[in-house]
Structure 1
Amino acid sequence: MGKPNFSDDFKRDAVHQIPVRGYAVREVSERLGVSTYSLYKWMKLYAKAASQTSSVDHEAENRRLKRELARMTEERDILKNRSGLGPACAR
């Protein structure tokens, strides 16, 4: 009998259960029928990939939030000026 060949999705899901859901490595190992050695190996493999994509995701999220903040600030200023509360309407 040969060694089982698990898909990348299976490996990611298995690894995801440990830090995100808080399960112990041994518990995930027993439940999925995978050795703890394999889980630790997959954790190293997918942690590197996750950290690389994570930094890219954070940068994109920061840009999106800055655009959103600029839009909200502009809308707030427009509403202030329209209601007569802003500096353009000072008496």
Structure 2
Amino acid sequence: MSSKRYPEEFKREAVRQVTDRGHSVAQVADRLGVTTHSLYAWIKKYGPRSDEYQVKADDQAEIRRLQKELKRVTEERDILKKAAAYFAKESG
């Protein structure tokens, strides 16, 4: 498995070959020596619908952040409930 990094302009040009010039993903990937998986990911990121993709990715990141925060706050609430019950029992 290669972890080769490609410059942004290389990726954009690969995407243009597919979206603007009509070459197939398989042809472009083979010619450039990249995987089709990588090329599809670049198309999502740099292609004509990339703004929609970025908005969706941002929304998903926000949802994950909020879920993580909700879990933390729920755990804190449960701890405080137990502490309140303990101290009510001790003082009573």
What TM-score results when the alignment is normalised by the length of structure 1?
0.51
> Taking structure 1 as reference, are residues 2 and 26 closer, same or farther at Cα in structure 2, changes over 3 Å only?
closer
Instruction: Kindly provide the CA deviation profile for residues 16-46 of structure 1, in whole angstroms up to 9, marking residues without a partner as x.
Output: 0001111000000000000000000000011
| Greater per-residue helix proportion | 2
**Unpaired segments ≥5 residues, structure 1:** 53-91
Matched, 1:44 2:44: yes
1:13 Cα deviation from its structure 2 partner: 0.2
> Taking structure 1 as reference, are residues 45 and 21 closer, same or farther at Cα in structure 2, changes over 3 Å only?
same
- Compare relative contact order (CA 8 Å, sep 6+) and give the higher one, 1 or 2: 2
Instruction: Kindly provide the CA deviation profile for residues 39-72 of structure 1, in whole angstroms up to 9, marking residues without a partner as x.
Output: 00000011315x99xxxxxxxxxxxxxxxxxxxx
Count how many residue pairs are aligned between Structure 1 and Structure 2: 52
What TM-score results when the alignment is normalised by the length of structure 2?
0.50
1:3 Cα deviation from its structure 2 partner: 1.3
> Taking structure 1 as reference, are residues 6 and 22 closer, same or farther at Cα in structure 2, changes over 3 Å only?
same
Alignment of 1:78-89 (within 5 A): none
**Unpaired segments ≥5 residues, structure 2:** 55-92
* Match of residue 21 from structure 2: 21
1:2 Cα deviation from its structure 2 partner: 4.9
How far apart, CA to CA, are the structure 2 residues paired with 1:12 and 1:40? 12
- Structure 1 stretches of 4+ with a deviation exceeding 2 A read none
Alpha carbon RMSD of aligned pairs, Å?
Answer: 2.5
* Match of residue 86 from structure 1: none
